[in-house]
């Protein structure tokens, strides 16, 4: 139970990665300003979180089961919070999907949207009425740079993030009238166990339904380039957690928060040309015409940029 003066923070998807690090970072706040409710679909996967939380577990951090794909689970989780009072909701739960779209079933696509989009909508719908009554609250959504700029062979995942960005941009205007802030956290590549395993798995998979050229472009062109980008520009879950904490503690939190300054020029391409041709043609040339040059550039960037630059996060204040 939260002590007087503590803000109640509910976080989805805390079994590993970014969600785990956000939960631990807030629970270990030096001033004990937060009472963290870390949630996950299966509490049998709590061990990593409990170990990382250390003495904070049972004091400033508690666990609740939550499946963001279930209306009943979402309702029951919020009902288990004292007075349903949540000051800060952090929507972190998400799933990825990568590969040629011809080989991805509609059911797989729906599962991605069920978690990445409708899961967020369920959570916001459940906590928003109480926040409106109190005229207070902060909703944070873990988006992605792919919610701003499309990336080849990430078609479905990108679409789910674009949908979330549009939903939240619309909601933010209404929520301001009730003194509720809505902030998007938009990382680029992040080094997590989930990402590593997914990249290893997709390289070994077969892709029925996709032609041989497309599969070759995916495995021999896209995947090596993606690996180069991850190694040169990737951040850690701790980087994203620190960024999220800054956004929470800002007196005037931004709506959009890119966590990696190295991605700012890439996103800017899209807004520099309203026809869309500049960004589409630039990414086409980088991938298919200048692949070797891109590999060399990423290698140089990896060598030259110190960790403080590659992990640089935004400073909302």
The DSSP code sequence of 28-84 is T-TT--EEEEEEES-GGG-HHHHHHHGGGBTTTEEEEE--TT-HHHHHHHHHTSGGG
> What is the distance in angstroms between the CA of the first residue and the CA of the last residue of the chain?
31
Q: By the 8 A CB rule, do 18 and 192 touch?
A: yes
Q: By the 8 A CB rule, do 35 and 8 touch?
A: yes
Q: Which residues are annotated as a binding site for substrate?
A: 144
Q: Which residues are annotated as a binding site for NADP(+)?
A: 13-41, 67, 161
Active site residue 157: yes
Closest CA to 118 of 73, 154, 80: 73
Q: Round to whole Å and give the CA distance between 271 and 278.
A: 9
Q: By the 8 A CB rule, do 145 and 258 touch?
A: yes
Tokens at 41, concatenated:
């679909």
Q: By the 8 A CB rule, do 188 and 145 touch?
A: yes
Q: Which residues are annotated as a binding site?
A: 13-41, 67, 144, 161
Query: Quick one: how many helices (H) and strands (E) in the chain?
Result: 14, 7
Q: Round to whole Å and give the CA distance between 159 and 153.
A: 11
Q: By the 8 A CB rule, do 81 and 8 touch?
A: yes
Residues 141-152: b if buried by 16+ CB within 10 A, e if exposed: bbbbbbbbbbbb
> Which residues participate in catalysis according to the annotation?
157
């Amino acid at each position: 139970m939260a002590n007087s003066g503590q803000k109640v923070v509910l976080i989805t998807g805390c079994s590993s990665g970014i969600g785990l690090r956000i939960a631990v970072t807030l629970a270990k706040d030096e001033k004990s300003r937060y009472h963290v409710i870390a949630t996950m679909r299966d509490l049998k996967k709590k061990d990593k979180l409990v170990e990382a939380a250390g003495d904070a577990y049972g004091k400033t951090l508690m666990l609740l089961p939550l499946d963001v794909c279930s209306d009943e689970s979402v309702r029951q989780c919020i009902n288990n919070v004292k007075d349903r009072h949540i000051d800060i909701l952090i929507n972190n739960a998400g799933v990825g999907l990568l590969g040629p779209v011809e080989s991805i079933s509609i059911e797989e696509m729906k599962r991605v949207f069920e978690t990445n989009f409708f899961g967020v909508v369920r959570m916001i719908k459940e906590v928003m009425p109480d926040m409106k009554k109190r005229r207070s609250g902060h909703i944070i959504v873990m988006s992605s740079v792919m919610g701003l700029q499309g990336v080849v062979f990430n078609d479905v995942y990108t679409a789910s993030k674009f949908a979330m960005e549009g939903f939240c941009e619309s909601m933010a205007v209404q929520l301001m009238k009730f003194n509720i802030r809505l902030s998007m956290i938009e990382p680029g590549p992040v080094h997590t166990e989930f990402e590593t395993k997914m990249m290893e798995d997709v390289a070994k998979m077969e892709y029925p339904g996709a032609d041989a050229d497309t599969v070759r472009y995916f495995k021999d062109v896209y995947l090596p380039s993606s690996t180069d980008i991850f190694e040169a520009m990737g951040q850690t879950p701790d980087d994203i957690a620190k960024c999220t904490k800054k956004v929470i503690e800002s007196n005037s939190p931004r709506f959009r928060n890119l966590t990696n300054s190295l991605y700012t020029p890439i996103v800017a391409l899209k807004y520099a040309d309203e026809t869309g041709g500049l960004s589409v043609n630039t990414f086409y040339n980088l991938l298919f015409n200048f692949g070797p040059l891109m590999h060399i550039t990423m290698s140089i960037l990896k060598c030259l940029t110190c960790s403080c630059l590659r992990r640089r996060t935004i400073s909302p204040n």
